[in-house]
Amino acid sequence: MAMGGANNAAFTFTNCQLSGPTNFSCVVANSYGSATNTWSASYLPAPMAPFPQAVFAANPITYWRFNEPDNQVGDGNPGAICNDYQSGNNGLYTNMLLQGNGGFPDSGYSATTDPSELAALFGQFKTPFSFASWIGTNIEFSGTNNASFTTAVWANGRAIAQVGNSGLMTKGFFNGEEFTIDQGAASQALRFGVRQAASPFTFIGANSTNRLAADANWHFVVGVCDEPNTNVSLYVDGRLAARVFIAKNSGLITTSAGSPIILGARSSTLLGDQQFKGYLNDAAIYGYAMSAGQIASQYVGVGGTIAPYFVPAPAANASAGVNKTLTIPVTAVGTPPIGFVWTNVTTGGSVIATGVTNGLTLSATLSYANVPASWNTNQLELIVTNAYGTANAFVTLSITNTVNQNPTNIVFSTAGGSLTLSWPLDHTGWRLLSQTNSLSVGINTNWVTVAGSAATNQVVIPINITNGSVFYRLIYP
């Protein structure tokens, strides 16, 4: 049956159903003859579990669920397909144990995360190595000088020793990878890194202290390359675990069409020889840099909990002008509700600001108007708290004098036997001087500073009718 509108070089079949057509053919013809190409299609049921739904809602480029059945014969499932549920970037398993194999240990994968699904087990064959590969050679982020993308995978190291540099998800081959999530940090801790475009193709790696070998728990591992905002970041279990600087517009090394994505291993001299040993599940790649809040949302959405942390930590020092607004920008992330309190440690812990949110991202920015000169060198403390922990930071203040030194006028008014003298707020720091003389003497040299006038821009003075005359002036300083 001819498909309506299918007369272009590319054809897209939308609204796929499990009962949809499985065989397609394309006929190309001209006046000298024709050629026919035929292929078959299979349909995967759409996942309904919370985490897969969250992945699809975030619009991934590709998404491998690692939920294919084992062939039950113990031969490593040669030729088994690693299905991409998003865009058809399928791969092939090599020497793998998949779910349902006799003697296959229960992965313990969270029923909340992915109900009734197990995971793919890597590294159980001594040789050759096990991995899922020949995947997505068309997934490339080097085409722009400002790369922005996210890689994410659930991993369980089964509390066994890991090999240094062993990969979870890698694009390209050793020393030429465009990106990699591996265990290349100190003591085989998790790392996410990219390789810059210009020679010598510098590797930019965010090295954490989180080790998959430390326990047999599942961990949500996310790598983010965000060249527009000059950072490469690694998140583990919803928290920022490591971040390094990358230059804006530096670009990434171009991997060739023969450099596929490898899942479960990294390659040096042989394909997959830097072997991850453990389970992987729900791996995805996104064509944009996920925010800390988006990553936390996926993790918390399936029952994960996050103690609060700062993204990034507040600067250790802040400054403002006398009687200006002191602003210290701070963002925190964690399982809601999250609350914060700012205190002035130097003045005995007096509270100067508080707040709370029911969202994953908390703005704990301090904005304090008319900061006094007496706060110079004071230390402020920010405490952010939720049910799972507390984060705090200290900021030392530098309050500088930014007084307007241009001459100005004194404005006066009288009411109820009092004289009010005032001047512009930006002239706070000027001193009000007075002298009292008879009219016959007039202005003389006996000026006296009005007490407290240098700390304000207004004074109220009782009128004394016994004074012959009183003169006022402002001077600086």
CATH of 50-300, one of 3.30.1360.120, 2.70.98.60, 3.40.50.720, 2.60.120.200: 2.60.120.200
Going by C-beta distance under 8 Å and a sequence separation of 6 or more, which residues neighbour residue 318?
Answer: 326, 327, 328, 380, 395, 396, 397, 398
Instruction: Please report the pLDDT score of residue 62 as a whole number.
Output: 94
Distance CA 462, CA 465 (A): 10
In the DSSP assignment, the letter for residue 191 is: E
Instruction: Render 42-100 in DSSP notation, one character per residue.
Output: --PPPP-SHHHHHHHHT--SEEE---PBP-SSSS--TT-EE-BTTT---EEEES-B-BT
Helix extents (H) in 252-306: 292-300
Beta-strand relationship, 278-286 and 338-344: unpaired
Nearest in space to 163 (alpha carbons), one of 123, 133, 121, 128: 123
Q: Give the least confident one: 89-98, 107-116, 300-309.
A: 107-116
The reported pLDDT for the residue numbered 101 is 44
CB 200 within 8 A of CB 209: no
Token pair listed for 344: 């002035």
For residues 471 and 436, give the distance between their C-alpha atoms in angstroms, rounded to a whole number: 6
Say if 50-300 and 309-400 have the same CATH topology. Answer: no
pLDDT of residue 115: 61
Q: Which residue has the higher pLDDT, 197 or 269?
A: 197
372 cis-preceded (ω within 30 degrees of 0): no
Q: What is the mean pLDDT of the chain?
A: 87
Out of 27-36, 109-118, 278-287, 400-409, pick the least confident.
Answer: 109-118
How many other CB atoms are there within 10 angstroms of residue 321's CB atom? 15
**Count of alpha carbons within 13 angstroms of residue 407, beta-carbon side:** 1
* Contact (Cβ atoms closer than 8 angstroms) between residue 335 and residue 300: yes
Rounded Cα–Cα distance for residues 452 and 116 (Å): 74
Look up residue 382 and give its two tokens. 């920010």
* Cα 117 from Cα 100, distance rounded (Å): 10
CA–chain centroid gap for 415, Å, is: 59
- Burial (CB < 10 A; 0-12, 13-18, 19+), residue 120, is buried
Beta-bridge mates of residue 63 = 284
* Helix H or strand E encompassing 261: strand 261-263
Q: Where are the domains of the chain?
A: 50-300, 309-400, 411-475
Q: What is the pLDDT of residue 375?
A: 94
Q: What is the pLDDT of residues 65-87, one digit of tens each?
A: 998 888 888 888 888 999 998 88
Structure tokens given for 184: 């290349």
Tell me whether strands 231-236 and 239-245 are parallel, antiparallel or unpaired.
antiparallel
- pLDDT at residue 451 above 60? yes
Q: Is the pLDDT of residue 263 over 70?
A: yes
What is the tens place of the pLDDT at every residue in 155-210?
999 899 998 899 999 998 877 889 999 999 999 999 999 999 888 889 999 999 99
d(CA 454, CA 443): 22
Residue-level pLDDT at 139: 84
What DSSP state is assigned to residue 391? E
- Contact criterion met (CB below 8 Å) for 421 and 411: yes
Specify the pLDDT at position 102: 44
Task: Tell me phi and psi for residue 304, to 5 degrees.
Answer: -70, 155
CATH fold of 309-400: Immunoglobulin-like (2.60.40)
What gap in Å lies between CA 333 and CA 311, rounded to an integer?
7
- pLDDT tens track for 377-391: 999 999 999 999 999
Mean pLDDT of 354-375: 93
How many Cβ atoms sit within 10 Å of the Cβ of residue 108? 14
For residue 421, list its beta bridge partners: 412, 459
Q: Tens digit of pLDDT for each residue in 338-355?
A: 999 999 999 999 999 999
Is beta strand 361-363 parallel, antiparallel or unpaired with respect to 331-333?
A: antiparallel
Per DSSP, the residues of 3-46 read PTT--SSS----S--TTS--EEEEEEEETTEEEEEEEE---PPP
> pLDDT at residue 19 above 90?
no
Q: At what angle do helices 292-300 and 50-57 cross, to 10 degrees?
A: 160
Classify 194 as helix, strand or coil.
Answer: strand
Q: What is the pLDDT of residue 136?
A: 63
